[in-house]
Chain A
Amino acid sequence: MTRTVRGLVLAALLWPLMVLAAVDPYPFTSEVDEVRFRSLIAELRCLVCQNQNLADSNAELAQDLRQQVYEMILRGEADQTIVSYMVDRYGDFVLYRPPVKGTTALLWAGPFMLMLLGLIALIRTVRRHALEQQPTTATSNRGTHREEPEESQTP
């Protein structure tokens, strides 16, 4: 009894692997082409399930577009041609790395601007703390025996 259950559990666990092994409908004769195919479908975004690329998505459109990329590679089209084929139809959105231009300026510059703001805030805070600390260090350097009020406050 437990044996059957164990067998079933094992079969259930292995099932996805068998399915994965079955999914390779894109036979290439050249290894270079296969690498190109893999990298292209990883770079292109599926429009139906937008947080997946063409390689990961199982949406019908993604399957069709994978097929399209595959056929274009077999026809000997350049990567550039394939990418612009997609962009012509679906726009820059289809690219996981959109080009730098007016509409995407904020997208590209935004993180750096935020980092710059953070750095400015950090430098200001550090400077202010340094200024506040200075009188204390000055007095302690003089070697007074009087108890520092700030020191007594720190736990």
Chain B
Amino acid sequence: MPRFLIPLVVFIALVAVLAVGLTRDPRLVPSPLVDKAAPAFILPTVADPGREIGIEDLKGQVALLNVWASWCIACREEHPFLMELAQEQLLPIYGLDYKDLRPDAQRWLAQFGNPYLQSAFDEQGRVGIDWGVYGVPETFLLDADGFIRYKHIGPLNREIWERDILPLVRRLKEENA
């Protein structure tokens, strides 16, 4: 190889490395929980402090668990899509209301609509820690056995749903049928 080509090759290699590295979002940390059994929890619901919801309630069908909070700005952006998704009735959507105040959360659902079958009320964020939540909103796809099959960090939208999650939902439902 001619000598003058060496810097060029090094440069191209560097550009290639940076092109891959810099376009990845460092805030998206892959969850070690994917393909593992979902962490167990029992929490009161947002709607009713006297009623409890737990991981057992989510089992038996392919379901979505969406981590949200009334203080979360990005959740507001995501919310209309969740409403659409709830109307399609493809799968049940459960909520995990993370480090919120109950009146705020109830008001939020009353104001923007409630896409959730039930929302668990995680006031202290303990269940959030068990689920490795670090950036609300986050969405977990669970299979019928209660295994986490996919985790999305950040607000969902139609494009992300159809590209990353819907094919997996269809496959899981077929496996289940």
Contact = CB atoms under 8 A, between A and B. Distances in A.
A89 B130 CA distance: 6
B32 A68 contact: no
Interface stretch (B22-30, B55-63, B110-118, B163-171): B22-30
B26 A87 contact: no
Given A47-B134, A48-B135, A50-B27, A88 B129 contact: no
Contacts of B27: 50
Interface in B21-54: 26-27, 29-33
B32 A91 contact: yes
B29 A68 contact: no
Q: Is the interface of A mostly helix, strand, loop or mixed?
A: helix
B152 interface: no
A101 to B, nearest CB: 13
Given A47-B29, A89-B33, A91-B31, A64 B135 contact: no
A68 B129 contact: yes
Contacts of B130: 89
Contacts of A64: 124-125, 129
> Max chain A CB contacts within 10 Å: which of B29, B99, B130, B135?
B29
Given A48-B134, A88-B32, A60 B129 contact: no
A9 interface: no
Contacts of B99: 60
Contacts of B132: 89-91
Contacts of B31: 90-91
Task: Give 4 closest A-B pairs by Cβ, nearest first.
Answer: A47-B134, A89-B132, A91-B32, A93-B29
